[in-house]
Amino acid sequence: MGRDKDKEKLAFNLKTPKGTKDWQGTDMILRDRIFSTITTVFKRHGAVTIDTPVFELREILAGKYGEDSKLIYDLQDQGGEICSLRYDLTVPFARWLAMNPAVQNIKRYHIAKVYRRDQPAMTKGRMREFYQCDFDIAGSYDKMLPDAEILRIICEVFEGLGWKENGSFMIKINHRGILDGVFEVCGVPKEKIRTISSAVDKLDKVSWEEVKKEMVEEKGLQEDVADKIWEFVQRKGGSEILETLKNDEELLANESMKRGVEDMGLLFEYLESFGIMDRVQFNLSLARGLDYYTGLIYEVVTEGSAPDNTTGQKLQRAAKRDKSNEFEEDRSNDPSVGVGSVAAGGRYDELVGMFSPKAQIPCVGISFGVDRIFSITKARMEKLKNTAPLRGNEVDVYVMAFGGKGFTGMVRERMDVCKILWDAGIKAEFSYKLKPKLPAQFKAADVNGVPFAVILGEDEEKAGKVKIKELGLPEGHPEKDGVMVDKANLVREVRSRLEQPGATDSVTASMDELVVEDTKTTGKTGDDGV
């Protein structure tokens, strides 16, 4: 009876919570490479890093995210404080600035997990626990200079990830001043501007008819006002859109619109100087659902972000009618659910002041959704047969030994060579068996994609020599069987081979080989996932 009760106690559902996953193997290698690429760009632009708690006082997060506030994870009262898991890294950063008034300007980056009670689609990078990589510029500077650098950083990150071809990603941009000006000129009451913005932001997710229905029937907007809004928000393109706005006297009479047009004119000049104008689309339907944005807003989409416009709208309508999938564990196979934007951000000049009236610090920033970038990058790499396989670890050299009858395994000698390589900063490992067989050692190196082997033999050891062999060379290659070198020169010889382009970094090589089709995504991609 006692044993039966013990078995009952052990009967539980062994799984990760909904919307979360364990990371391991080559997925970790690829994700770490994404982190490294993004961090390198952040540091190139002068950023320093900070860290904040994974949970905040609930009142800190309340009222900052508009309709998305329902996705915040609230925690039970513990010790007299009511807290919530952080929804993003921007609001905690603003709180940190308000608590540190001596910091009047900073370029900051933060890489950490955030939490959202959203419906997950795991293979598409839509999760309840996920990483964000944020870069923000805080401080009072001349207009649009920090904003332009943020957009340059976006391009450097995605090009560094191998998304280099034209059409592999697109930065959609708009300005809250322009959007608010359009709404005011069209006759939207000021108290409805934010809620109408949220409806407009769904335009590439659902049809205009459905957006209009939401604005009129659910949010009480007059139908003729909605029709006027449609005349503007369907516009997208380049500098020609700005010229059209400049030539509309009724629009320019609105102060919000005038400010936005002036900002965008400056921005386009700076983007030309940075050489990234071809990566940008001026899209008047982009609204960004978060309440704290005050100026320039942007999000990055790619061909993996969502179905094309017509298909996407049909799928969304079908999904809206079918409520059976609302509580599914994972909607990865739901064609109406896209990856969404892979990066997004904007200017938020008033957020810090919401925490401390004395701390009015203008800010602009970008947040990269690592898990979404990962899902798209992995899918592309699997689709392209010519990309190098992902390595299981970052070891560069596998130290082996072989011998004939009476072979001792040379374990001390292998350990000695590993020590020499480790002391020189070279990544190396060896078999933990005392007398390993040579095929088993080659297999261990092959499983993890180790590029080089250092092979020891009893006769070579007596002569003070070792053999360096590049693994995976084709038959007939002059160094297929390896090259004998003096043991005293081992470090120099290994380093010279590791420094050859593409010798070790199969992950970067794979990412650099990515070539994608032109994106068909021209509007809202699903949600504010970043």
DSSP secondary structure, 301-356, as one string? E-TTSS--HHHHHHHHHHHHH-GGGTT-S--TT-TT-----SEEEEE-SSHHHHH-
Biggest distance spanned by C-alpha atoms of the chain: 94
What is the C-alpha R_g of the chain? 28
376 compared with 434, residue with greater pLDDT: 434
Separation CA 135–CA 454 (nearest Å): 42
Give the count of beta carbons closer than 10 Å to the beta carbon of residue 191: 7
Per-residue confidence (pLDDT) for residue 453, from 0 to 100:
96
Region of poorest pLDDT, from 19-23, 103-107, 251-255: 19-23
Mean pLDDT of 118-146: 86
Segments of 192-272 assigned E as strands? 236-237
Residue range 147-175, pLDDT digits in tens: 999 999 999 999 999 888 877 899 999 99
**Which has the closest alpha carbon to 529: 145, 174, 68?**
68
Give exposure, 159-181, as e/b (b: 16+ Cβ within 10 Å): bbbbbbeeebbbbbbbbbbbbbb
Contact 198, 67 (CB under 8 A): yes
What pLDDT shows up at residue 385? 59
Cα dihedral value 84, 201, 152, 372, nearest 10: 60
Confidence of residue 334 (pLDDT cuts 50, 70, 90): low
Cα torsion angle, 84, 90, 92, 94, sign: negative
Residue type at 422? W
Rounded CA separation 198/70 (Å): 14
Mean pLDDT of 201-225: 88
Angle between helices 255-274 and 239-246 (to 10 degrees): 150
Averaged pLDDT for residues 115-133 = 80
**Structure-model confidence comparison of residues 204 and 385, the more confident one:** 204
Please answer whether residues 29 and 392 qualify as being in contact, where contact means their C-beta atoms are separated by less than 8 angstroms. yes
Matching residue, tokens 């998304």: 163
In tens, the pLDDT along 72-92 reads 989 988 788 999 999 999 999
Query: Residue 409 above 80 pLDDT?
Result: yes
pTM: 0.80
Residue 173 three-state SS: strand
Kindly state the tokens that stand for 123: 């293979």
**Matching residue, tokens 């892979």:** 342
Confidence category of residue 501, pLDDT binned at 50, 70, 90 = confident
Higher pLDDT, 286 or 336: 286
Domain 397-507, what architecture? 3-Layer(aba) Sandwich (3.40)
Q: State residue 320's pLDDT score.
A: 45
Residues 6+ apart with CB under 8 A from 186: 225, 228, 229, 232
**Sequence-separated (6 or more) residues with CB below 8 Å from residue 171:** 151, 154, 155, 279, 280, 281, 298, 299, 300
Domain ranges, ordered by start, for the chain: 397-507
What is the rounded average pLDDT for all residues in the chain?
A: 84
Q: Strand, coil or helix: what is 452? A: strand
Smallest Cα–Cα separation from 139: which of 222, 207, 209, 47?
47
What does the pLDDT read at residue 514? Answer: 52
The pair of three-digit structure tokens given for residue 280, joined into one six-digit string? 């940008």
Q: What is the mean pLDDT of residues 202-211?
A: 84
pLDDT digits (tens, 9 = 90+) for 415-461: 999 999 999 999 999 999 999 999 999 999 998 889 999 999 999 99
CA separation (Å) from 332 to 87, 115, 336, 337, 372?
22, 19, 10, 7, 12
Give the tokens for residue 336.
């109406």
Calpha distance 253→5 (Å, rounded): 78
CB 492 within 8 A of CB 419: no
What's the confidence (pLDDT) of residue 21?
A: 86
Given this model, what pLDDT does residue 358 score?
84
